[in-house]
Amino acid sequence: MYVAVKGGEKAIENAHRWLSEKRRGNTDLKSIELKQISEQLFLSVSRVMAEGSLYDKELASLAIKQSSGDLIEAIFLLRAYRTTLPRFGYSKGIETDNMICSRRISATYKDLPGGQILGPTYDYTHRLLDFKLIAEEEVHNSKEVEIDNIEKLSRVSEYLNKDDLIKRENNTSKQPKDLTREPLELPADRSLRLQSLTRSDEGFLLGMAYSTQRGYGRNHPFVGELRIGIVDVFFEISELGIEIEIGEIEITECETVNQFMGSKKEPPQFTRGYGLVFGQSERKAISMALVDRALQWKELGEENQNAPAQDEEFVLYHGDNIQATGFVEHIKLPHYVDFQSELELIRKIRKDAQKSEK
Amino acid sequence: MLKSQKNKYTKEDPLEHDEYNFAYLDEQTKRMIRRAILKAIAIPGYQVPFSSREMPMPYGWGTGGVQVTASCLCPTDTLKVIDQGADDTTNAVSIRKFFEKTANINTTDDTNSASIIQTRHRIPEEPLKEGQILIYQVPIPEPLRFLEPRETETRIMHALEEYGLMHVKLYEDITKHGHISTAYAYPIKVEERYVMDPSPIPKFDNPKLHNNEALQLFGAGREQRIYAIPPYTKVISLDFEDYPFEPMKAEAICSICGSNSSYLDEIIINDKGDKSYICSDTNYCEKRK
Ligand SMILES: [Zn+2]
């Protein structure tokens, strides 16, 4: 007779062997190198670092290679690795005022000190397949692109700050909670929300942000400033009482300026949404800023429109793609036992129903 | 950094090296989890928040159970892992292998000789005894979740012992279907205080939760909750006087061992759709053969 599948162990081994062959693909072709990934697929690397919450281009490239380009799988690999790393402490807050920008644009001022810097962007490209790339062997770019603006660029929101037209965001000396070390408890303060948003799934945030623009929690945003560039990271060694630079990271920062007509709590003024993401990721940074602004309705005394993007519990609980993918996909695991008990129940209820019909 | 350097350039399985701590988690994390476990034992049925870590298996695939197991394991422990009652289902195999590699402990299929049993969806047929720990993998720890989706609300309901909504739901079931239409993850009340989700075990298993000699721990990784039923704890399945709780199983006997009292899996044996039944608990069935 048929006996329920035995030998799960062997089956798993075979499946994994097959997978690793598939991952490698045709062996007549060279195996893709990590450097190629980090140099030529750097936007993928950015996303994996941001949502993996680990800034390491080499490891992110490895994860992308190992996951055959499935970015959520790659993010998962990085997260699982990250969680095992010992913690020496927390770095000082990065100073994005001192960013060396490769890109800096403002949608609110035509010109401003430091100017608009387009930088490497897909904006304004015509989305036409470039068939030249099929045959591309070597790069023909003759001119080296130089970053000439190493001076410090003043911040757009500062101009509004000076005129008291935008809500001031005060520095708090409070040590922010660490989402990766403490369970999420609600209500969350803004620093915790931002932590959660910056590692949230890009697609989820994009959808949430988009919904605010279409009227579900509308917040009238302008991109006050979007900048991409390099900042230094400092770490304080308390035993020695000194601060040292431990490295530099590339980040994308977006500050939106949002219309606000005032409430019982706050006078009419502009308000802001904030997005900060590892690597180059404008879509995510802008989305994050819109959602951050939507989530501030309570602090600002705005009306709750019951929009999904205003709902802290909804946004924070469902934005993590590693949690989401695990749980959604877990329904492919065996559920024989539960299904069996449902079978028995439905049979019983049907039997009773048939009896009472007669 | 150092760690990654070492990992990156060796071809062997990184878990087999001393790259990771005993049972994978670092000691500090285990301490944090043990504190949550102790709190859970002190307040039976109460869901204790804990800072769940990313594990090398996906959320929803047993990460809560795995973290609790990792925090309870000692080198002298003997571990049994089951899924759907069976030792050889793929996910059980995968979790058992994980601990064989990372903790180098003994494993067994024998319910009786295991000191720790991690389970998904079943309680073994063989009665557990003092000193054993049964660790459940939990997908949704909140019994009130499908009545009230908000965690902020359900925590208040627990605090105020406000369980009316649950009783209304069960009552509506009876008026609509003539039965309580919950077949698994059937809600229980622990020590006359907290309403608790026993994880998706069939309600057939519910009576075994009561007064069990073993310590029962529940881990929900994605939802970041741990809860417990200490040994010899009073557990009742929610019901009404005129509609008492009844455990349920297929009215058949096991076609391998002939048991008429164990929980059975229904299997389809040919293209005509003929059915047969076998014990869901493979170790129990094996021993009776
Ligand atoms: Zn049997």
Yes or no, beta carbons of B178 and A9 under 8 Å apart: no
**Residue B52 DSSP class:** P
Q: Is B243 helix (H, G, I), strand (E, B) or coil?
A: coil
Distance between CA atoms of residues B99 and B106, nearest Å: 9
Kindly state whether residue A114 falls inside one of the protein's structural domains. yes
Domain end residue (candidates: A25, A52, A82): A82
**Of B27 and A115, the one with more pLDDT:** B27
Q: Looking at the domain assignment, is residue A161 inside a domain?
A: yes
What pLDDT score was predicted for residue A6? 55
Beta carbons of B150 and A313 less than 8 Å apart: yes
Q: Which residues on chain A are in Cβ contact (under 8 Å) with B265?
A: 4, 336-337, 340
Of A8, A337, A344, which is closest to B93 when you measure between CB atoms?
A8
Residues A48 and A191 grouped into a single domain: no
| Per-residue confidence band for A163, with pLDDT thresholds at 50, 70 and 90 | confident
**Taking all residues of chain A, what is their mean pLDDT, rounded to a whole number?**
88
pLDDT at B83: 94
Q: What is the mean pLDDT of residues A71-90?
A: 91
Distance from CA of B87 to the nearest CA of A (A): 9
The minimal CB distance from B183 to the residues A84, A326, A345 is found for: A345
Report yes or no on A356 lying in a domain: no
Query: The domain containing residue A70 runs over which residues?
Result: 9-82
Better-predicted residue by pLDDT, B149 or B135? B135
Distance between CA atoms of A217 and A213, rounded to whole angstroms?
Answer: 8
Residues A162 and A238 in one domain: yes
In a domain, A251, yes or no: yes
| Contact assignment for A337 to B84 by CB distance below 8 Å | yes
How far apart (Å, rounded) are the C-alpha atoms in residues B219 and B199?
Answer: 9
- Does residue A197 sit in the same domain as residue A273? yes
User: What is the number of CB-based contacts under 8 A between chain A and chain B?
Assistant: 157
Q: Give CA–CA dist A342/A352, Å, rounded.
A: 15
* Shortest distance, CA B5 to any CA of chain A (angstroms): 10
Catalytic residues of B: 45, 254, 257, 279, 285
CA–CA distance from B170 to each of A246, B94, B141, B178, B239 (Å)?
59, 37, 19, 10, 8
B162 pLDDT higher than 90: yes
Within 10 A of A309 (CB to CB), how many other CB atoms are there? 28
Query: Does one domain contain both A129 and A13?
Result: no
Question: A9 and B61 in contact by Cβ < 8 A?
Answer: no
Share of chain B above pLDDT 70, in %: 93
Let me know: does B81 contact B121? Beta carbons within 8 Å.
no
Q: Is the pLDDT of residue B16 over 80?
A: no
- B192 vs chain A: nearest CA distance in angstroms? 27
Helix (H, G, I), strand (E, B) or coil at B152: helix
CA of B281 to the centre of ligand 1 (A): 8
Q: Long-range contact list for A261-265, CB < 8 A, 24+ apart?
A: A263/A300, A263/A301, A263/A302, A264/A301, A265/A299, A265/A300, A265/A301
- Per-residue pLDDT at A1 exceeds 60: no
Average pLDDT over residues B144-169: 94
Pair A138, A183 in one domain: yes
Strands (E), chain B: 48-49, 78-83, 106-107, 116-120, 133-137, 188-190, 194-196, 215-220, 225-229, 235-237, 264-268, 275-279
Strands B78-83 vs B116-120: parallel, antiparallel or unpaired: parallel
In angstroms, the first-to-last Cα distance of chain A is 38
Nearest CA in chain A to B222: A323
Domain count, chain A: 2
Q: Work out the percent of chain A whose per-residue pLDDT is above 70.
A: 94
| pLDDT for residue B200 is more than 70 | yes
Question: Could you tell me which of B249, B118, B246 has the C-alpha nearest to residue B179?
Answer: B246
Closest residue to A183, CB basis, from B89, B224, B250: B224
CA distance A356 to B11: 67
Mean pLDDT of B261-288: 91
Whether A124 and A201 map to the same domain: the answer is yes
Residue A215 has pLDDT above 60, yes or no: yes
Q: Do A36 and A29 touch, CB atoms closer than 8 A?
A: no
Q: Are residues A44 and A118 in the same domain?
A: no
Q: What is the pLDDT of residue A150?
A: 62
Whether A210 is in a domain gets the answer yes
Please give the radius of gyration of chain B, using alpha carbons only, rounded to the nearest integer: 20
Q: How confident is the model at residue B146 (pLDDT cuts 50, 70, 90)?
A: confident
Residue A139 has pLDDT above 80, yes or no: no
Tell me: do A168 and A118 sit in the same domain.
yes
Q: How far apart are CA B154 and CA B161, in angstroms?
A: 10
Q: Contacts of residue B91 in chain A, CB cutoff 8 Å?
A: 333-334
Q: β-pairing, B188-190 with B235-237?
A: antiparallel
Decide if A90 is inside a domain. no
Helix (H, G, I), strand (E, B) or coil at B135: strand
What pLDDT does residue B159 have?
97
CB contact under 8 A, A83 and B54: yes
- Rounded Cα distance between B259 and B249, Å, is 12
B201:A337 CB<8 A: yes
* b/e code B125-154 from CB counts within 10 Å (16+ = b): beebeeebbbbbbbbbbbbbeeeeebbeeb
Residue given tokens 């881990």 in the structure block: B219
What does the alpha-carbon distance between residue A64 and residue A71 come to, in Å, rounded to a whole number?
A: 6
Q: Select the residue of A80, A333, A340 nearest B265 (Cβ to Cβ).
A: A340
In the chain, the amino acid numbered B196 is M
Q: How confident is the model at residue A357 (pLDDT cuts 50, 70, 90)?
A: confident
Q: Check whether residue A198 and residue A57 sit in a common domain.
A: no
Pair of tokens at residue B148:
């009230």
User: Which of A52, A82, A112 is the endpoint of a domain?
Assistant: A82
Of the candidates A224, A226, A219, the residue with the CA atom closest to the CA atom of residue A300: A219
- For residues A248 and A281, membership in a common domain is answered with yes
What confidence category does residue A144 fall into, taking pLDDT thresholds of 50, 70 and 90? low
Q: How remote is the CA of residue B66 from the centroid of ligand 1, in Å?
A: 28
Q: Is the peptide bond before A268 cis (omega within 30 degrees of 0)?
A: no
Structure tokens at B49: 């928040």
Angle at A349 between CA A345 and CA A354, to 5 degrees: 145
Higher pLDDT among residues A7 and B262, named by residue: B262
pLDDT digits (tens, 9 = 90+) for A226-238: 999 999 999 998 8
A17-36 pLDDT, tens digit each = 999 999 999 999 999 999 99
Considering the domain architecture, whether residues A213 and A161 belong to the same structural domain is answered as yes
SS3 readout for chain A: CCCCCCCHHHHHHHHHHHHHHHHHCCCCCCCCCHHHHHHHCHHHHHHHHHHHCCCCHHHHHHHHHHCCCCHHHHHHHHHHHHCCCCCCCCCCCCCHHHCEEEEEECCCCCCCCCCCECCCCCCCCCCCCCCHHHHCCCCCCCCCCCCCCCCCCCCHHHHHHHCCCECCCCCCCCCCCCCCCCCCCCCCCHHHHHHHHHCCCHHHHHHHHHHHHCCCCCCCEEEEEEEEEEEEEEEEECCCCEEEEEEEEEEEEEEEEECCCCCCCCCCCEEEEEEEEECCCHHHHHHHHHHHHHHCHHHHCCCCCCCHHHCHHHHHHHCCHHHHHHHHHHHHCCCHHHHHHHHHHHHHHHHHHHHHHC
Query: pLDDT tier at B155 (50, 70, 90 boundaries)?
Result: very high
**Nearest-CA distance from A262 to chain B in Å?**
28
State which residue of chain B sits closest to A9, comparing Cα positions. B93
Q: A253 lies in a domain?
A: yes
- Do A132 and A203 lie in one domain? The reply is yes
Contact A106, A224 (CB under 8 A): yes
Q: Is the pLDDT of residue B203 over 60?
A: yes
Contact B264 A181 (CB under 8 A): no
Does residue A153 or residue B246 have the better pLDDT? B246
Residue A340 lies in a domain: no
pLDDT score of B11? 42
Q: DSSP letter for B19, please.
A: T
Q: Which residues 6+ apart lie within 8 Å of A282 measured at CB?
A: A121, A226, A228, A252, A254
Question: What chain B residue is nearest to A331 in terms of C-alpha separation?
Answer: B60
Q: What are phi and psi of B82, to 5 degrees?
A: -130, 155
Confidence class for position A132, pLDDT limits 50, 70, 90 = confident
Is the confidence at residue B9, as pLDDT, over 90?
no
Distance CA A322, CA A320 (A): 6
